[in-house]
Amino acid sequence: MSDASHKIAAGQLQRAAFVYIRQSSPNQVEHNRESTQRQYALAQRALALGWHEQQVSVVDEDLGLSGASVAHRSGFARMTAEVALGHVGIILGLEVSRLARNNSDWYRLLDLCSMTDTLIGEPGSFQRPPFAWSEGHHE
């Protein structure tokens, strides 16, 4: 476990860890393979933070789709629903602000994370919403 793991509640560790994988276009998927590999590697971050392998869910069905709207993004919709149901302890992404490019979708996810005590993290940090990224407590 990492030094940051002491800030993760036992109840969060009993729920799933979601790793959201995304590139905005098929061209990015083809030409930015290193970024995609780094995103898949976030599953190892979840393990290092204390989640068990069977609890880690990698959401990659939205690869190559724009984040401008949740329309046609079944992975984002599924992840949001799981958060709303209280099934998720943490969401990890390479740049979490890119999970949604539409402010209403992003703020809806943040609100749900806040209500269900779901952490949101990226390499090197995680937060408890609500938060301001520029003033957040980075791990």
Catalytic positions, written as ranges: 24
Q: Which residues pair with 120 in a beta bridge?
A: 91, 127
* Spatial separation of the C-alpha atoms in residues 36 and 83, rounded to whole Å: 23
